[in-house]
Amino acid sequence: MDSQLSGGFLKHTLFPPKIFTPNSITLSNGVIVSHNAIGVVEITPPESDKAIVISSGIHGDETAPIELVDDLVSSILDEAFQPTSRLLLIIAHPDAIHAHTRFIEENLNRLFADTNPLRNKECELANNLQEQVQVFFKKGTEEPWHFDLHSAIRASEHYMFGVVPASTQATDIRPLVSFLKASHMDAVMLSRTPSSTFSWYSAEKFGALAATFEMGRVARLYENNMEEFKPLRDALVALLCGETLPAPPTEKGFSNYKVTRTITKTSDAFNLAFSDDAANFTYFAEGEQLAEENGTVYSAIAGGEAVVFPNSKVAIGQRAALLVQPFEPNLSEPLYVNVERDPGPVAFS
């Protein structure tokens, strides 16, 4: 076993040596494990049909995803399963993990639009991660996937859900929706406008089947009940190994949402009309006030809207809330998440 990883991927990421040297080992099953950078491990099997990025730690206090990625790396090193996909496994922001905070100076998950000026640690991390992902996807021609794993900072009407970014790529996301169902997610939310999140970067630049996963609530490292996420882990292992995905649960339903609007904070005068700790997917009937800023009032549209990720304390120019409505996609036809268009059978590219 690689001595750098003998104590665990997470331990090395949090307590790296002063001088890091990338290195690779070949396991007895022929899988190559490459420790490319602090917090970045690449897995190369003898043959592969997919190229999958699984990232965690973009926000340092969202620890269940970090523990899950650490467990996947350990299981591969122990040869508990043999992937048939090339993998890039990431624990992104050790400084924020140590501080148990979302970020140190700037929200890392808003920095994946392009190369950033080096004004802080988050900009440097985003640039390095974009380069790692670019090199990884360009190495081969396999089907690209990206799961960016997060945990919510608030309660939610749906404990686990996926957010699929909108892109200009003509990528049919039905396989991704099937995976969400197999991993016992409660809902999927389809975006409408481009963003600068990590999952959007892979979807837009490489046509990846990409989503941001919300896994429960934030907690201290090693204080998560990882049994809650066993169905997700089982589905990931099946996908990584080219096996049939587990059957979706029959005891609960699966909800589909599309984003109707994004509310952006443009001044310090912005205020939500409800408590900042309102649960994700809290519903507001038509006409109910949602927010106000310098005389502009935002109210729920016809049919009502549910609010997701409300946060009045974001920086000016950033998203203060997403508003969504339920819908039922026709899964007998391709499903595209189009920039500024309703999700539907015609890709805008």
pLDDT in tens, 224-236: 999 999 999 999 9
DSSP 267: S
Angle at 50 between CA 46 and CA 54, to 5 degrees: 105
The type of residue at 250 is T
pLDDT at 113 over 80: yes
Q: Is the pLDDT of residue 343 over 80?
A: no
DSSP for 80-124 reads SS--SSEEEEEE--HHHHHHTSS-SSS-GGG--SSPPPSSSHHHH
Q: Is 59 annotated as a binding residue?
A: yes
What's the mean pLDDT when you consider all of the chain?
94
Q: Which helix (H) or strand (E) holds 231?
A: helix 230-240
Query: What average pLDDT does the segment 181-185 reach?
Result: 97
pLDDT one-digit tens code per residue, 64-96: 999 999 999 999 999 999 999 999 999 999 999
| Mean pLDDT of all residues in 328-332 | 92
Domains of the chain in sequence order = 9-240 (3.40.630.10), 259-326 (2.40.50.630)
Q: What is the DSSP letter of 155?
A: -
Does the pTM surpass 0.75? The reply is yes
Active site annotation includes 328: no
The stretch 326-342 carries a mean pLDDT of 88
Compute how many other C-beta atoms are within 10 angstroms of the C-beta atom of residue 174: 15
Please name which of 64, 334, 348 lies closest in space to residue 226, comparing C-alpha atoms: 64
Q: What is the pLDDT of residue 349?
A: 38
93 annotated as ligand-binding: no
pLDDT tens digit string along 135-169? Answer: 999 999 999 999 999 998 888 999 999 999 999 98
Distance CA 174, CA 307 (A): 25
Can you tell me the distance from the alpha carbon of 33 to that of 22, in angstroms, rounded to the nearest whole number?
A: 11
Pairing type for strands 305-308 and 319-326 reads antiparallel
pLDDT (average), residues 283-298? 95
100 annotated ligand binder:
no
Q: Which of 67, 122, 204, 214 is catalytic?
A: 214
Tens of pLDDT, residues 215-265: 989 999 999 999 999 999 999 999 999 999 999 998 889 999 999 988 999
